[in-house]
Structure 1
């Protein structure tokens, strides 16, 4: 099988030396862009007018970025930073930003994830937990499955005494269309091990709602 053609694009800001590098599969970009050219025409637009000339390509690149989680193995993220440690109290990473796309209408949903685990011989680098959340979120999703996938990945890889995941999101498929309820928030939760215990779960919920101010 031929390796995908990757286009490396760099943009440099001369003021601060910042370099942005995006990686795209050229063949997929072209194919997706062609479809969007047809879609623009089907909704009554003129794909040849100035403001839309590059829109199909921009949308194709945006979709590749928004769904790049398919190319990531979340368990490998955790395995890359696992350490033996004699610590058995709750570890909580809260207010992790979540940006995903509803698989039913391909509209965004976004909010926060709160994740905790109780180590059982191993801890993991704290930055890896948000990366796992992002790896699953950057796919076409439903919030319920996203919650379970994060829980299961941490449980199966770290094998802790328990895992807790709570996600709170606003769904634009509800706000912009359908019910058109702009202020509704959907909350999902998933627990394993010690977090099935009401006392432990209550401590987790208290910690994610507490303020350090």
Structure 2
């Protein structure tokens, strides 16, 4: 029996095989890298959607104190040293988060610290040098919900969310590319993907006010 000669592998076939290998490699390893990310945003999607039912008890602490007069009314009518005041309050009362607001009025200073599930507001009387601090902690569920939304989380966490979004986009796209190499499931897979997108769109049209 004469063995027929092997057909030469064309450039198109090589490119297709190479694409399949790279897509499979990217899909597997990106899926493993983003596993915890998917799990976190899935769980917090539920807790965020049921924030009132799952939210813990809000803990509020009220503290009074006093600051040096020269900090509040510097000589020559200069502006108060905002950084010094904010960091002194942070150190003295173990405050968290970033300074989200610092208002200077003729008779009062207002300082606000914000973080995930956290807020601290301080009102300082510039004449008596006394201040009232109200610190609010909203519990673990509120913290992870704010992390999910990127609220009061700072620039680094915002960048992390962007990276997570890019990873999940790559996972989705490489999965779609791989589907085209599974010939027996390609059509049915595309139908299911389209059906999922259509269902989401119909739910939006029908139930979202």
* TM-score, normalised with respect to structure 2: 0.25
Which of 1 and 2 has higher RCO (CA within 8 Å, sep 6+)? 2
* TM-score, normalised with respect to structure 1: 0.25
Which structure has greater strand proportion? 1
The structure having more radius of gyration, on CA atoms, is: 2
